[in-house]
A = this chain, B = another copy of it.
Amino acid sequence: MTEPDTRLAEIADLDDDRLARRGYPEAVYCAGKTAEQVRVIAAGVRSLAQVTLFTRADDDHAAAVRDALPDARWDAEAGLLAWPPTPPEPTGGLVVIVAAGTSDLRVAREAMLTAQYLGRECELVVDVGVAGLHRVLRRLDLLRKARVVVVVAGMDGALPSVVAGLITAPVVAVPTSVGYGAAFEGLAALLAMLNACAPGVAVVNIDNGYGAGHLAAQISAPAPPS
Protein backbone atom coordinates (compact mmCIF):
# COMPACT_ATOMS: atom_id res chain seq x y z
CA MET A 1 0.00 0.00 0.00
CA THR A 2 1.23 3.49 -0.88
CA GLU A 3 2.09 5.79 2.03
CA PRO A 4 0.04 8.95 2.51
CA ASP A 5 2.89 11.27 1.53
CA THR A 6 3.53 9.39 -1.67
CA ARG A 7 -0.14 9.36 -2.44
CA LEU A 8 -0.34 13.11 -1.87
CA ALA A 9 2.59 13.67 -4.22
CA GLU A 10 0.79 11.63 -6.89
CA ILE A 11 -2.27 13.83 -6.92
CA ALA A 12 -1.41 17.28 -5.57
CA ASP A 13 1.45 19.68 -4.82
CA LEU A 14 0.20 21.79 -1.89
CA ASP A 15 1.21 25.42 -2.28
CA ASP A 16 2.75 25.75 1.20
CA ASP A 17 4.51 28.91 0.10
CA ARG A 18 1.24 30.67 -0.70
CA LEU A 19 0.69 32.29 2.69
CA ALA A 20 4.19 33.77 2.63
CA ARG A 21 4.01 34.84 -0.99
CA ARG A 22 0.46 36.13 -1.19
CA GLY A 23 -0.55 36.73 2.45
CA TYR A 24 -3.57 34.45 2.07
CA PRO A 25 -3.75 30.71 2.78
CA GLU A 26 -4.33 27.77 0.44
CA ALA A 27 -7.81 26.65 -0.67
CA VAL A 28 -8.82 23.27 -2.07
CA TYR A 29 -11.38 23.20 -4.89
CA CYS A 30 -13.25 19.92 -4.36
CA ALA A 31 -15.45 19.72 -7.47
CA GLY A 32 -14.02 17.14 -9.89
CA LYS A 33 -11.94 15.48 -7.19
CA THR A 34 -12.85 12.10 -5.71
CA ALA A 35 -13.61 11.89 -2.00
CA GLU A 36 -10.46 9.82 -1.61
CA GLN A 37 -8.32 12.49 -3.26
CA VAL A 38 -9.82 15.12 -0.98
CA ARG A 39 -9.13 12.93 2.05
CA VAL A 40 -5.46 12.58 1.10
CA ILE A 41 -5.16 16.32 0.56
CA ALA A 42 -6.87 17.06 3.88
CA ALA A 43 -4.33 14.85 5.60
CA GLY A 44 -1.60 16.88 3.92
CA VAL A 45 -3.26 20.09 5.11
CA ARG A 46 -3.10 18.79 8.68
CA SER A 47 0.69 18.50 8.37
CA LEU A 48 0.89 21.97 6.83
CA ALA A 49 -1.05 23.40 9.81
CA GLN A 50 -2.28 26.50 7.94
CA VAL A 51 -5.79 27.95 7.70
CA THR A 52 -7.38 26.15 4.74
CA LEU A 53 -10.73 26.34 2.99
CA PHE A 54 -12.29 23.45 1.07
CA THR A 55 -14.74 24.87 -1.50
CA ARG A 56 -17.44 23.36 -3.71
CA ALA A 57 -17.63 20.37 -1.45
CA ASP A 58 -20.53 17.93 -1.41
CA ASP A 59 -21.47 15.64 1.47
CA ASP A 60 -18.92 12.99 0.47
CA HIS A 61 -16.13 15.53 0.24
CA ALA A 62 -17.17 16.88 3.63
CA ALA A 63 -17.01 13.45 5.23
CA ALA A 64 -13.59 12.89 3.68
CA VAL A 65 -12.25 16.19 4.99
CA ARG A 66 -13.58 15.52 8.48
CA ASP A 67 -12.04 12.08 8.44
CA ALA A 68 -8.65 13.81 8.34
CA LEU A 69 -9.60 17.05 10.10
CA PRO A 70 -12.39 16.10 12.53
CA ASP A 71 -12.87 19.61 13.89
CA ALA A 72 -13.23 21.27 10.48
CA ARG A 73 -16.31 23.49 10.21
CA TRP A 74 -18.81 22.35 7.57
CA ASP A 75 -21.32 24.80 6.10
CA ALA A 76 -23.53 22.66 3.91
CA GLU A 77 -25.47 25.53 2.32
CA ALA A 78 -22.25 27.16 1.08
CA GLY A 79 -20.57 23.82 0.30
CA LEU A 80 -17.53 24.99 2.27
CA LEU A 81 -15.30 23.58 4.99
CA ALA A 82 -12.89 25.64 7.05
CA TRP A 83 -10.04 24.43 9.22
CA PRO A 84 -9.27 25.34 11.90
CA PRO A 85 -12.95 25.98 12.62
CA THR A 86 -12.72 29.44 14.14
CA PRO A 87 -12.13 32.43 11.86
CA PRO A 88 -9.33 34.85 12.79
CA GLU A 89 -10.00 38.14 14.57
CA PRO A 90 -11.25 40.60 11.95
CA THR A 91 -9.01 43.42 10.73
CA GLY A 92 -9.33 45.90 7.85
CA GLY A 93 -12.51 47.44 6.47
CA LEU A 94 -16.08 46.18 6.58
CA VAL A 95 -17.30 43.82 3.84
CA VAL A 96 -21.03 44.00 3.08
CA ILE A 97 -22.47 41.11 1.08
CA VAL A 98 -25.76 41.73 -0.73
CA ALA A 99 -27.91 38.93 -2.18
CA ALA A 100 -30.45 40.09 -4.77
CA GLY A 101 -32.79 37.17 -4.09
CA THR A 102 -33.25 34.24 -1.76
CA SER A 103 -32.02 31.87 -4.48
CA ASP A 104 -28.68 33.70 -4.45
CA LEU A 105 -28.08 33.07 -0.74
CA ARG A 106 -25.98 29.96 -1.26
CA VAL A 107 -23.36 31.89 -3.20
CA ALA A 108 -23.57 34.94 -0.96
CA ARG A 109 -22.89 32.75 2.04
CA GLU A 110 -19.81 31.23 0.40
CA ALA A 111 -18.49 34.76 -0.20
CA MET A 112 -19.18 35.82 3.38
CA LEU A 113 -17.53 32.79 4.97
CA THR A 114 -14.48 33.17 2.74
CA ALA A 115 -14.01 36.82 3.66
CA GLN A 116 -14.49 35.97 7.35
CA TYR A 117 -11.87 33.21 7.31
CA LEU A 118 -9.47 35.56 5.51
CA GLY A 119 -9.90 37.99 8.41
CA ARG A 120 -12.65 40.47 7.63
CA GLU A 121 -15.78 41.66 9.42
CA CYS A 122 -18.86 40.94 7.28
CA GLU A 123 -22.54 41.89 7.09
CA LEU A 124 -25.08 40.04 4.93
CA VAL A 125 -28.15 41.73 3.38
CA VAL A 126 -30.76 39.61 1.60
CA ASP A 127 -33.49 39.94 -1.03
CA VAL A 128 -32.95 43.51 -2.19
CA GLY A 129 -33.39 43.10 -5.95
CA VAL A 130 -34.03 46.14 -8.15
CA ALA A 131 -37.65 45.13 -8.78
CA GLY A 132 -38.35 46.85 -5.45
CA LEU A 133 -35.83 49.67 -5.21
CA HIS A 134 -36.97 50.81 -1.76
CA ARG A 135 -35.47 47.64 -0.31
CA VAL A 136 -31.93 48.53 -1.34
CA LEU A 137 -32.37 52.25 -0.68
CA ARG A 138 -33.29 51.62 2.96
CA ARG A 139 -29.97 49.80 3.46
CA LEU A 140 -27.95 52.69 2.08
CA ASP A 141 -26.42 53.61 5.43
CA LEU A 142 -24.93 50.17 5.84
CA LEU A 143 -23.74 50.07 2.23
CA ARG A 144 -21.95 53.39 2.66
CA LYS A 145 -20.06 52.07 5.70
CA ALA A 146 -18.45 49.29 3.68
CA ARG A 147 -14.88 49.34 2.36
CA VAL A 148 -16.16 47.01 -0.37
CA VAL A 149 -19.59 45.61 -1.26
CA VAL A 150 -20.10 42.15 -2.73
CA VAL A 151 -23.29 42.00 -4.82
CA VAL A 152 -24.63 38.54 -5.69
CA ALA A 153 -27.37 38.46 -8.33
CA GLY A 154 -28.80 36.24 -11.07
CA MET A 155 -31.42 36.99 -13.73
CA ASP A 156 -30.75 40.48 -15.17
CA GLY A 157 -27.74 41.15 -12.94
CA ALA A 158 -28.87 44.76 -12.58
CA LEU A 159 -28.17 45.25 -8.90
CA PRO A 160 -24.39 45.96 -9.10
CA SER A 161 -24.96 48.96 -11.41
CA VAL A 162 -27.53 50.38 -9.02
CA VAL A 163 -25.41 49.84 -5.90
CA ALA A 164 -22.19 51.09 -7.51
CA GLY A 165 -23.98 54.26 -8.56
CA LEU A 166 -24.87 55.03 -4.94
CA ILE A 167 -21.59 54.55 -3.08
CA THR A 168 -17.90 55.39 -3.05
CA ALA A 169 -16.54 51.92 -2.39
CA PRO A 170 -15.87 49.39 -5.15
CA VAL A 171 -18.40 46.64 -5.86
CA VAL A 172 -17.48 42.99 -6.40
CA ALA A 173 -20.21 41.54 -8.62
CA VAL A 174 -20.99 37.81 -8.62
CA PRO A 175 -23.39 36.57 -11.29
CA THR A 176 -25.40 33.50 -10.30
CA SER A 177 -26.92 30.79 -12.44
CA VAL A 178 -30.42 31.61 -11.15
CA GLY A 179 -33.08 32.36 -13.76
CA TYR A 180 -35.29 31.27 -16.67
CA GLY A 181 -33.93 29.86 -19.95
CA ALA A 182 -32.36 32.96 -21.45
CA ALA A 183 -30.36 33.48 -18.28
CA PHE A 184 -28.20 30.77 -19.89
CA GLU A 185 -26.89 29.53 -16.55
CA GLY A 186 -25.68 32.96 -15.47
CA LEU A 187 -24.41 34.31 -18.78
CA ALA A 188 -27.04 37.07 -18.89
CA ALA A 189 -26.11 38.33 -15.42
CA LEU A 190 -22.40 38.00 -16.20
CA LEU A 191 -22.64 40.14 -19.33
CA ALA A 192 -24.82 42.72 -17.60
CA MET A 193 -22.28 43.07 -14.81
CA LEU A 194 -19.37 43.41 -17.24
CA ASN A 195 -21.36 46.18 -18.92
CA ALA A 196 -22.40 47.93 -15.71
CA CYS A 197 -23.14 51.53 -16.63
CA ALA A 198 -21.74 52.73 -13.30
CA PRO A 199 -17.93 52.43 -13.04
CA GLY A 200 -16.46 50.62 -10.07
CA VAL A 201 -17.76 47.10 -10.67
CA ALA A 202 -15.31 44.18 -10.45
CA VAL A 203 -16.72 40.98 -11.93
CA VAL A 204 -15.87 37.40 -10.92
CA ASN A 205 -16.96 34.04 -12.31
CA ILE A 206 -20.54 32.74 -12.23
CA ASP A 207 -21.53 31.38 -8.78
CA ASN A 208 -17.97 32.00 -7.57
CA GLY A 209 -18.65 33.09 -4.02
CA TYR A 210 -15.18 32.00 -2.94
CA GLY A 211 -13.47 34.23 -5.51
CA ALA A 212 -15.66 37.18 -4.56
CA GLY A 213 -14.94 36.75 -0.86
CA HIS A 214 -11.21 36.45 -1.49
CA LEU A 215 -11.14 39.56 -3.68
CA ALA A 216 -13.21 41.50 -1.15
CA ALA A 217 -10.81 40.50 1.61
CA GLN A 218 -7.87 41.79 -0.42
CA ILE A 219 -9.57 45.09 -1.25
CA SER A 220 -10.52 45.68 2.38
CA ALA A 221 -7.15 44.58 3.73
CA PRO A 222 -5.86 46.74 6.60
CA ALA A 223 -2.67 48.02 4.98
CA PRO A 224 -0.99 48.32 1.59
CA PRO A 225 1.50 45.57 0.70
CA SER A 226 5.08 46.13 1.80
Question: In this assembly, does A215 line the interface, its C-beta being within 8 Å of a C-beta of chain B?
Answer: yes
Which of A67-75, A80-88, A151-159 is near enough to bind chain B? Answer: A151-159
Within 8 A of B (CB), among A60-115: 93-94, 100-103, 105
Q: In the docked arrangement, what's the CA distance between A180 and B194, Å?
A: 9
Please tell me if the beta carbons of A177 and B181 are within 8 angstroms of each other in the complex. Answer: yes
- Contact partner, A219, options B182, B191, B219, Cβ 8 Å: B219
CB A125 to nearest CB in B, in angstroms, measures 9
CB closest chain-B residue, reference A178: B32
Please tell me if the beta carbons of B224 and A103 are within 8 angstroms of each other in the complex. Answer: no
Q: In the docked arrangement, what's the CA distance between A221 and B224, Å?
A: 11
A11 proximity list for chain B (CB < 8 A): 102, 105, 126-127
Q: In the docked arrangement, what's the CA distance between A179 and B181, Å?
A: 14
Q: Which of A10, A144, A179 has the most CB of B within 10 A?
A: A179
Q: In the docked arrangement, what's the CA distance between A154 and B120, Å?
A: 30
Please tell me if the beta carbons of A167 and B41 are within 8 angstroms of each other in the complex. Answer: no
CB A143 to nearest CB in B, in angstroms, measures 9
Question: In this assembly, does A13 line the interface, its C-beta being within 8 Å of a C-beta of chain B?
Answer: yes
Please tell me if the beta carbons of B199 and A202 are within 8 angstroms of each other in the complex. Answer: no
Please tell me if the beta carbons of B191 and A187 are within 8 angstroms of each other in the complex. Answer: yes
Please tell me if the beta carbons of B13 and A127 are within 8 angstroms of each other in the complex. Answer: yes
Question: In this assembly, does A51 line the interface, its C-beta being within 8 Å of a C-beta of chain B?
Answer: no
Q: In the docked arrangement, what's the CA distance between A165 and B154, Å?
A: 17
Within 8 A of B (CB), among A186-226: 186-208, 210-211, 214-215, 218-221, 224-226
Question: In this assembly, does A43 line the interface, its C-beta being within 8 Å of a C-beta of chain B?
Answer: no
Q: Which of A15, A22, A105, A221 has the most CB of B within 10 A?
A: A22
CB A162 to nearest CB in B, in angstroms, measures 5
Please tell me if the beta carbons of B218 and A170 are within 8 angstroms of each other in the complex. Answer: yes
A147 proximity list for chain B (CB < 8 A): 224-225
Please tell me if the beta carbons of A29 and B194 are within 8 angstroms of each other in the complex. Answer: no
A144 proximity list for chain B (CB < 8 A): 225-226
Q: In the docked arrangement, what's the CA distance between A184 and B182, Å?
A: 11
9 A–B contacts, CB within 8 A, in A order: A10-B126, A32-B178, A155-B197, A170-B218, A182-B187, A182-B194, A199-B211, A200-B214, A201-B211
